[in-house]
Amino acid sequence: MPAAHCCCLTAIVPRQAVRVKRMGQTVPYFDIGGRPAIPMYGTLYPPPLRPQVPVSVIAVTGFSIYLRLTAQNTMTTAEIARTSKYDPFSIAVMRDPLPYYKELRDHFPVHHMPQYNAWAFSRFEDVLSIFENDAHFHSAEGTLSNKEGLSKFEKGAGPKWQKDPTPLLGFNETETYGKLRQAMMAELKPKSVTALADDIRKRTNALLDKLIPQKRFNVTLDFAGIVAAGSVCGMAGVPVEDAAEVLAAANLATKQDPVTGGFPPDWIKNRDTLLEICRKAVRRQIAGQSDRPLPVIEKLRELEVEGRKLTVNDIAILISSILLGGSETLPKVFAHGLLELNRNPSQKAEVMSDLENNARPAFEEMLRYCGPAQWFMRTVLTPVTIAGHKLEVGERVVALIQSGNRDEREYPNPDQFQWNRPNTRHLGFGNGLHFCIGSHLARLEGKILLQEFLRRVPEYTIEEAVRTPSSFQWGYSSMALSIA
């Protein structure tokens, strides 16, 4: 494909859209209020509003200004078309979003998706800025969505909060969210999590005792997923023996159609399976039939939200947030991390040389490099400027966290796995008001899983790795390995 040098593409915009004083002036596209149209191989192609691409003014008529892309832009025509059409729900993006992220970071860091009334931000600092400017955003529309949900919008509209039943934790109004989050943090604070270390290590080794003699097992579904689900089962009052059932229900409840990016027709049924597990746990606690006190459920029962006490169903919905987040993501991170260590034997040897001290930084790099969650959404509550772009009330922002985690402006060689990377800050847990409430637990589990697995299984072969296309959870949902 020919490169898009200054001689190939011309844009035409209304004269009033740009303040022009003389021919040859260089103007950045984001100053253009109009919607330029670029002829591309005979097709009139409208790029997104205000992308940050330099252009040069070449002619001024009574009604129009003619602009050319300057030679500073060396993208091919095909690349321009592809990035301009970036859509998290396109089949190509769901199969592998990483090349698109790089093009967005380099050429379209503020990318308009008018079909969703949304702007995608792909650079680390911009994503971080969205998370840190919590007061300007709301989550009444959720923190993630499918294509059908994002396609419905009312420009300039304020938040419409769901009150009854109480939605998943992240969908609540700020004040309510704060109360609920505080209650749900009862067993997720550092001191409480640290007390779980011995139990996690014991369950990890018990599983390895069972799996190692088999010589071949699924590290996502049979190992890491069971350990992670077991931890949150204990907090939610679900028998630890039911961890496999919880893991399967969580995976089904969040599974997306690999073609449409939406949830399959049986999504409601799958979600209700998980909710019923949670309802039973709440009822057992209320009836005094739980094996031990459950601070999370008890603190939620004590709360009054929107002038009423939470129902059994409300509490079940909320603790399902813990089961979902705590059982689904970590196994994918861990499995992908083992894959990277297997691809880099020298790094694996370095980690194994001192597992006590090296497991934690190695897992931190896995959180950066291997995170499956691709993006989170917010809706603008009050006007705010991010990356020099003013966002208006009702517009959505799509914070591309995994693009930020691969940003060359933040990390040297970001597309390389480096277990002892000196810069350990990343977006794997989000930031700000919605910072992952299970971050301390995930870090502890990841460290222990890595220590015990590599101690007992120093050599392994990846037999099969399944990474199903997804608009959100793009991770290894299944990874089979064998050991000698």
3-class secondary-structure state, position 55: strand
| Its pTM surpasses 0.85 | no
Structure tokens at 227: 């350990």
Q: What is the rounded average pLDDT of the residues 30-56? A: 33
Structure tokens at 251: 């995976």
313 pLDDT more than 80: yes
pLDDT, one tens digit per residue, over 426-477 is 999 999 888 999 999 999 999 999 999 999 999 999 999 999 899 988 999 9
Q: Give the whole-angstrom CA distance, residue 317 versus residue 296.
A: 13
46 pLDDT more than 80: no
> How many residues comprise the chain?
484
Query: In terms of pLDDT, which residue wins out, 159 or 122?
Result: 122
| Phi and psi at residue 75, to the nearest 5° | -70, 150
Q: Give the whole-angstrom CA distance, residue 120 versus residue 300.
A: 35
pLDDT, one tens digit per residue, over 426-436 is 999 999 888 99
How buried is 289 (Cβ within 10 angstroms: 0-12 exposed, 13-18 middle, 19+ buried)? Answer: exposed
101 pLDDT more than 50: yes
Confidence of residue 208 (pLDDT cuts 50, 70, 90): very high
Q: What is the rounded average pLDDT of the residues 187-213? A: 97
Structure tokens at 359: 């497991």
The lowest-confidence range among 5-14, 33-42, 61-70, 337-346 is: 33-42
Query: Which among 2, 78, 64 is positioned nearest to 36, based on CA atoms?
Result: 64
Q: Name the CATH superfamily housing domain 118-482.
A: Cytochrome P450 (1.10.630.10)
Query: In terms of pLDDT, which residue wins out, 164 or 216?
Result: 216
165 pLDDT more than 60: yes
Q: Which residues contact 54 (CB under 8 A, 6 or more apart)?
A: 26, 27, 28, 29, 69, 70, 72, 73
The ranges assigned to domains in the chain are 1-76, 118-482
pLDDT value at residue 267: 67
Q: What is the rounded average pLDDT of the residues 383-395? A: 96
pLDDT value at residue 177: 84
222 pLDDT more than 80: yes
Residue pair 285/298 in contact (Cβ under 8 Å)? The answer is yes
251 pLDDT more than 90: no
